[in-house]
């Protein structure tokens, strides 16, 4: 199935969870902020959040800024 | 001097120097900078992750007692600023938000109209809203009415280090606003910060001038002292200027 991750199209295994996607991408979890179709998904829900074809994900983190 | 407190939302600050996390050569420079500055509030930004450089969490470099001030940089309109603010709060960064809406990419001038619209929305949602604006008195009064916790006029364009180019307009805000006035952007030297505080600014926000100094911690200390000096001078109520000389020694009893 296809996802839109940070504005780019990506293929993803069918019925993958958010936790699986993040694990597959080898992202640091502690600083990651996830928005799925416009709603923030807290980290404790990543393992039970199943992704669907066409989902729009924003993977964000805090950076230096003034 | 009685304890001089700056209150924003429910938070009380004894330091009137706000700092930023942008442009440091390494995140490791941030803790010593914070310690040297005594700063109790620091800005951060929110961005899409870059997996190649995702090795450190900037929040690990900010002590828990320092209030986070996420900014909405990258927002081009009120809706985008509101979205960033909500994400930052959801992500556990607290209720403070610096609204920064920029549509002009050459001078990085804040878009006052979009900033006001975002302030109206976010103040109603309980955010402690600190809008970054061009110093414009009617706009500042509208921000106050909309529930802004402070107004943050720029001294000069972001990152230019040119000081208080908008001094006369900032003075109008200081004179007429009931919310605190925080001079943000353009402050390049401790003397600029001192001048802003002498004028009666309630605080200053300094990022570039500290982060890009050869020694950010020492520069942070220099800014902290300048802010304290300027604040004390303001509270002490400065002597008047005069066009002609006024002798400091008695003009009678000369020896000749």
Helix and strand tally (H, E) in chain B?
8, 10
Separation of alpha carbons B121 and B81, rounded Å: 10
Lowest mean pLDDT among A46-55, B55-64, B226-235: B55-64
Instruction: Tell me, yes or no, if B98 is annotated catalytic.
Output: yes
- Percent of chain B topping pLDDT 90: 90
Full DSSP string of B147-201: T-S-BEEBSSSTT-----TTHHHHHHHHHH-SS-BEEES---SHHHHHHHHHHT-
Position A26 confidence tier, pLDDT thresholds 50, 70, 90: confident
If pLDDT is split at 50, 70 and 90, which confidence band does B6 have?
A: very high
- Residues in B closer than 8 angstroms to A65, CB to CB, are 20-22, 43-45, 71, 73
Q: How far apart are CA B28 and CA B229, in angstroms?
A: 28
- Search chain A and give the residue with CA nearest B60: A31
CA pair distance B196, A46, nearest whole angstrom: 47
Residue of A nearest to B28 (CA): A64
Q: Is B44 on the interface with A (CB under 8 A)?
A: yes
CB contact under 8 A, A63 and B58: yes
Percent of chain B with pLDDT over 70: 98
B31 touches chain A (CB under 8 A): no
Alpha-carbon span B223 to B220, nearest angstrom? 5
In chain B, what are the domains? 14-236 (3.20.20.70)
Q: Which of B18, B34, B48, B155 to mutate to test the interface with A (most CBs of A within 10 A)?
A: B48
Q: How confident is the model at residue A37 (pLDDT cuts 50, 70, 90)?
A: very high
Chain A, nearest residue to B42 by Cα = A66
Q: How far is B99 from A49, CA to CA, in rounded Å?
A: 31
Domain ranges (residues) in chain A: 2-60
Q: What is the pLDDT of residue B2?
A: 66
pLDDT, one tens digit per residue, over A6-18 is 999 999 988 899 9
| Neighbouring residues of B247: CB distance < 8 A, sequence distance ≥ 6 | none
pLDDT-based confidence at B3, cuts 50/70/90? confident
User: What is the widest separation between alpha-carbon atoms in chain B?
Assistant: 83
Q: Which residues of B20-40 are buried (b: 16+ CB within 10 A; e: fewer)?
A: bbbbbeebebbeebbebbbbb
Quick check: helix, strand or coil at residue B97? strand
Question: Does B190 have pLDDT greater than 90?
Answer: yes
Q: What count of CB pairs under 8 Å joins A to B?
A: 89
Q: Which residues of B touch A26 (CB under 8 A)?
A: 51
Specify the pLDDT at position A29. Answer: 81
- Tally of residues, chain B: 256
How many Å lie between the alpha carbon of B182 and the closest alpha carbon of chain A? 14
Right CATH number for A2-60 from 1.10.150.120, 3.40.50.1370, 3.40.50.1700, 3.10.20.30? 3.10.20.30
């Amino acid at each position: 199935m296809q996802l839109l991750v940070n504005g780019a199209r990506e293929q993803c295994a069918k019925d993958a969870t958010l936790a699986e996607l993040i694990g597959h991408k080898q992202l640091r979890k502690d600083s990651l902020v996830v928005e799925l179709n416009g709603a923030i998904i807290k980290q404790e829900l990543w393992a039970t959040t199943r992704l669907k074809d066409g989902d729009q994900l924003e993977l964000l983190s805090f950076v230096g800024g003034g | 001097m009685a304890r001089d407190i700056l209150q924003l939302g429910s938070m009380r600050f004894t330091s009137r120097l706000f700092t930023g996390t942008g442009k440091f050569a390494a995140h490791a420079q941030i803790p010593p900078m914070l310690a040297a500055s005594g700063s109790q509030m620091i800005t951060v930004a929110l961005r899409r992750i870059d997996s190649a450089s995702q090795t450190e969490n900037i929040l690990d470099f900010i002590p828990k007692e320092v209030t986070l001030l996420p900014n909405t940089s990258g927002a081009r309109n009120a809706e985008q600023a509101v979205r960033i603010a909500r994400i930052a709060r959801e992500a556990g960064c607290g209720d403070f938000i610096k609204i920064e809406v920029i549509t002009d990419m050459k001078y990085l001038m804040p878009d006052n109209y979009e900033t006001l619209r975002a302030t109206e929305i976010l103040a109603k949602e309980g955010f402690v809203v600190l809008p970054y604006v061009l110093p414009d008195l009617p706009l500042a009064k509208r921000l106050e009415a909309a529930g802004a916790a402070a107004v943050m006029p720029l001294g000069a364009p972001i990152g230019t280090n040119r000081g208080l180019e908008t001094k006369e307009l900032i003075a109008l805000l200081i004179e007429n606003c009931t919310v605190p006035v925080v001079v943000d952007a353009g402050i390049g030297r401790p003397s600029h910060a001192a001048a802003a505080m002498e004028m009666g600014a309630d605080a200053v926000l300094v990022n570039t001038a500290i982060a890009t100094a050869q020694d950010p911690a020492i520069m942070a200390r220099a800014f902290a002292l300048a802010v304290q000096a300027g604040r004390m001078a303001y509270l002490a109520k400065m002597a008047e200027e005069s066009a002609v000389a006024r002798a400091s020694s008695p003009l009678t009893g000369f020896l000749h």
